[in-house]
Structure 1
Amino acid sequence: MTVPALLIAAPGSGQGKSMITAALARLHRNAGRRVRVFKHGPDYLDPMVQERASGTPVYQLHPWMTGEAECRWRLAEAAREADLILVEGSMGLFDGDPSSADLAALAGLPVAVVIDARAMAETFGALVGGLARHRDDVRVIGAIANRVGSPGHARMLAGSLPEGVEWLGAVPRDEALHVPDRHLGLVQAGEVADLDARLDAASAVLAEAGLGRLPPPVALHGEAPPAPPRRLHGQRIAVARDAAFAFAYRANLELLEAMGAEVVPFSPLRDATLPPCDALWLPGGYPELYAATLAANDGMRAAIGEHHAAGRPTLAECGGLMYCAESLVDGEGVEHPMLGLLAGRAEMAGRLTGIGLQSLSRPEGELRGHTFHHSRLETALEPTEQTVRRSGSPAEGVYRVGSLTATYFHAYFPSAPEVVAGLLSR
C-alpha cells in the first residue's frame, strides 16, 4: 500500500519533536484526514498524547524490541486505512541501537528533522546538512525550525539549508506547543485538562507556519504475524488501569485478548476490591504520586493479598513492583504502607537508577523490553532470575514470591507470547 508518510526526528532530545508530531497529527485530522501515528522505541507517555492528537491507536515500532517484521506489518496495516502516517522518533536521529534512522531505513520512510533554533543562525544549515549526509540509506527530506524568534530569524535559517533539503517551516515560540513534564517524561495525557484545546491551538500555529502539506507517498509492505497460541483461553486477567498504573502497551493488552483471555480493567486508586479474576497484571506508572491514596485503600490491599494467598498469578512491573513492596517512600521522603507481598521497601532515588533495552530468556522464548525508573528496591530477597542488557550483562532482578512475579523490567508481550502465558497462568 502507498500512503504519505514521514518520520519526525531531531538531533537530540528536547528539540520539541513530540509536540510537533502531535500538532501535525491534529492539523491533518482537523482537515478531515485519517492520521495514524507510531512511536519509535519504548515509550508510554508520548503515545498517550499522540492518540489524543490523532484520534487513532498508537503502537510502538522498534526493530529489536517489537521486531523488524512487526514494524513492517504495522505500517502496512496502517497504510490500508490512513491518509497520512507519522512516526515520532526517539532521542537523536542516529542515537540508540537500533536508532530512529534504522527504522527509517528499514521501512523506507523519509525523515524531517525538528531543530530547536533558538540562538542559532548559519549553524542550523550545517546541522541539517550533517544529519542529511550521515547515512546514504536515510533520506532527510526536510527541516523544521522550532522556537523561532521572528520572521527575520526564520529567513536566516531557511537561507542556511543545504541543497536537497526542503525548508518545511518555522514554528514560533508558543505556549500551545508546551506540555508539562516530570521525572519520567511528559505528564499523562489525562492529567492535562485542556489538552485538546492545546492541540487545536498548536495545530493552528503549524498551519500558520505553512506545515499543512502532505509528505511524499511511501510504499509500505509487511506480512501479518502468525496468530499467537490460545494459551490463556477462558482466563480473566485483571489489569490495573488508572493514573497510578497507566504504563501498558496497547499491543500487550491486545495480545492477551488474542491468546484467549478476557481483560478486565480495574483501579487500585478508586475500586474497593478486585474484580473476579484468574490472574492479575500490575503495570508500571506513578504509584509514588498516589502512594497515600493507595495506602488508604484497605479493601483493595486486602483483596490483592487474598488473590496472592490463593496462589493466583500476579505480574508486577516497575510501578507494580513498588506497589507490591512492604512500603514506598515517595519523593518527599514520606513512607507509605503498600501491599506487603514483596519483602523490602521501594524508595524514590531522586535520579535515574535504571535505563535501557533488556530481555528475559526462558525455555519458551526471549521476552524483550526495557527498563526506566527513578526508584530502587531495598530488599534482602535474592532475585530468582535476571534480565540481561543487549551487551549480555545482567540488569534487573526478577523476584518470585509464591505466585507473584515482580521486576522493574517492562516487557513487550508480543515478543514472546509463550513466556507471557507462563507468567500469567497457574
Structure 2
Amino acid sequence: MRIVLAGTGSAVGKTTISTGIMKALSEEYRIQPFKAGPDYIDTSYHTLATGNDSRNLDSFFMSDGQIRTSFERGLKTAKADFGIIEGVRGLYEGISPIEDVGNTASIAKALDAPVILIINARSLVKSAAAIVIGFKTLDPTIKIEGVILNQVKNKKHYLKTKEAIETLAKTPVIGGIKRDDAIRVEQRHLGLVPAVERENLLNYIEKWGEVIKENIDLDALIQIMKNAEKLPEGREDTWQEKNRKKVKIGVAMDEVFNFYYIENLEALKANNAEIVYFSPLHDEEIPDVDGIYFGGGYPEIFAKELESNKSMRKSVFKFYEDANPIYAECGGLMYLTKSINGKEMCGIFNYESQMTKKVQGLSYIIAETSKDNIITKKGDIFRGHEFHYSKVLLNGQKPEFAFKILRGKGIEGSMDGLIKKNTVASYIHTHVAACPQFASNFTQSAGD
C-alpha cells in the first residue's frame, strides 16, 4: 500500500505532481506523505495537501530498519490507507556515484516499494523509452512499474511517447501533464517557498489535484500501490527514551522558524516533554518553559520584524542568562547572533550573521562532539545536514565550539556548534534517527 514517485533528475516536476496526487487521492483515502532526503519545504506542501504531517526518509540518517520503523509509524499515526513517497533529485542521485546512500533508490529498496518514474518529456518521444530502459536496467531490483510524462506538448505528443515507452521499455505510462506555467512553483535560494508563507497555496494545490485527476490514471496508480509486497523484515528504534521527568519545551514555530523534522518533536514528547509552540515574530516573550528549540527557516527575510520585537529578544537573552537550555539550528543560530545583515538580533553570540550570494554550506554532515553540551556528550558522533547562504563573521575571534565537522563545512575551520552556558547553536540540522540521544539529552538538560 505504498509508492515512490521518483524523477529522472531535479526539476522534472516531482513536487507539483506528487503533491497533486496526494491531494487528489486524499478526497477518497487517508494518505500519509513522505519525502526522501533532508527537506523541510516539500513536506510542508504534502502536509497541506493531505492534512497529515509529511515525514522524511533518508538513508544517510537512517538504517533500513529505521526507515521501515519510521514509515510504519507514519502510517499508524495517520491511520493511512496509502503511503506516498516523493523522491529527491534523480532516482539514483546520492552522495556516491556508485552506491545508494542518500538517494531515492535506497528508500525504495528498504521498503520494497514500487516506483513511478517521472520524466520531463519535452522534445522526447523514442528517447523517453531509452531513458526508462536505462533506469530499469541499471538496477533491476528497483521495481519501476509505471511512468508519468511531464511537459508534454499536446495529446499527439503524449500518445506517441506513451507508445514508445510501453512498446520498447515494456512499462505502462499512467498519465501525462501538459506544459502549463500556471502550475509552476515559486522558488527562492533554498528551494521552494515554505507553505506557511504562500498566500492561497491551498488554491494552487487544489488546482494541481484537479490537473492530476484529469491527466493521471489514478485507478492504475492505486492498483500498483495495492500490489506492493509486504514490508521487508527488520526494524530498529529511531530514538532513545531515557528522560523520566516531565518538562516543557518551547518550540519556535511561525513564518520565520518552521524547519523541523516531525520525529524530532515526537522524540521530545516520548521523553516526557510537553511541546509549547510560540512565535518569535508575533509573541511578546517566550512562554513558561524549561528549554527552547529554535529550528531553521528564513530569519533573513523577516530580519526587520524580528529586530522590532525587542521584548521577545530580551526574553530570549534572559532565558540564556539564567542558564536554561537553548538549542538552535541554522536560522535559529542566526537569530541568536548579534545581528542579521545589520538588523539587531538576540546577541547571545556576539557575532554578525551575513547573507551572501553564494551557497556557504550544502552537504550531509558527520560531526564529532568535542565538548559536552545539552544534546550530545564528548566523543559522540552524529549525522545531519547543512544548507545555507549565510555565514557567521567571527572576525578573528576564537569562540568555543561543541562540534568538530568530519564531513561538511560548519561555521569556520571545520568547527560548528557555538556554545555558551547551556546554549548550543549550529548550522547543523539534526534528525533524531541520526542523533538518537538528541531528545533524551535535551529533555534531561531541561529537567535539571
TM, length-normalised to structure 2: 0.88
Distance 1:413 1:251 in 2: 7
Match of 1:332 in 2: none
Distance 2:366 2:251 in 1: 22
Cα drift, residue 41 of structure 1: 1.1
Indicate whether 1:234 and 2:253 are aligned.
no
Structure 1 residues 299-308 or 203-212, which shifts more? Answer: 203-212
Cα drift, residue 384 of structure 1: 2.0
Is the 8 Å Cα contact of residues 244 and 272 (structure 2) preserved in structure 1? yes
Indicate whether 1:339 and 2:336 are aligned.
no
SS at match of 2:213: helix
1:188-267 matches, cutoff 5 A: 188-213=194-219, 214=222, 215-216=224-225, 217-218=227-228, 219-221=230-232, 223=235, 225=237, 228-231=240-243, 233-267=245-279
Distance 1:301 1:241 in 2: 15
Q: Percent identity?
A: 28
Distance 1:261 1:227 in 2: 14
Indicate whether 1:182 and 2:188 are aligned.
yes
2:30 aligns with one of 9, 31, 34: 34
SS at match of 1:231: coil
Distance 1:127 1:356 in 2: 28
Distance 1:66 1:227 in 2: 11
Match of 1:400 in 2: 419
CA deviations 1:240-267 (Å, max 9, x no partner) are 1111111111111111111011111110
Distance 1:386 1:78 in 2: 31
SS at match of 1:90: strand
Give the letter aligned to residue 306 of structure 1. Answer: K
1:374-393 matches, cutoff 5 A: 374-379=389-394, 380-389=397-406
Distance 2:39 2:299 in 1: 18
Cα drift, residue 144 of structure 1: 0.8
Match of 1:104 in 2: 108
SS at match of 2:84: strand
RMSD of aligned alpha carbons:
2.2
Match of 1:349 in 2: 356
Residue-pair matches, total? 417
Give the letter aligned to residue 58 of structure 1. Answer: S
Give the letter aligned to residue 220 of structure 1. Answer: L
Distance 2:192 2:346 in 1: 28
Distance 2:312 2:41 in 1: 26
Give the letter aligned to residue 403 of structure 2. Answer: Q
Is the 8 Å Cα contact of residues 70 and 238 (structure 2) preserved in structure 1? no
1:27-426 matches, cutoff 5 A: 27-30=24-27, 32-78=28-74, 81-96=79-94, 97-161=101-165, 162-175=168-181, 177-213=183-219, 214=222, 215-216=224-225, 217-218=227-228, 219-221=230-232, 223=235, 225=237, 228-231=240-243, 233-329=245-341, 335-362=342-369, 363=377, 365-379=380-394, 380-389=397-406, 395=414, 397-423=416-442, 425=445
Cα drift, residue 391 of structure 1: 8.5
SS at match of 1:355: strand
Distance 1:376 1:227 in 2: 31
Gaps of 5+ in 1: 330-334
Return closer, same or farther for 1:89/1:286 CA change in 2, 3 Å cut-off.
same
Cα drift, residue 420 of structure 1: 4.1
Is the 8 Å Cα contact of residues 9 and 90 (structure 2) preserved in structure 1? yes
2:18 aligns with one of 17, 21, 27: 21
TM, length-normalised to structure 1: 0.92
Distance 1:231 1:375 in 2: 35
SS at match of 2:39: coil
Distance 1:343 1:230 in 2: 34
Is the 8 Å Cα contact of residues 326 and 424 (structure 2) preserved in structure 1? yes
Give the letter aligned to residue 233 of structure 1. Answer: K
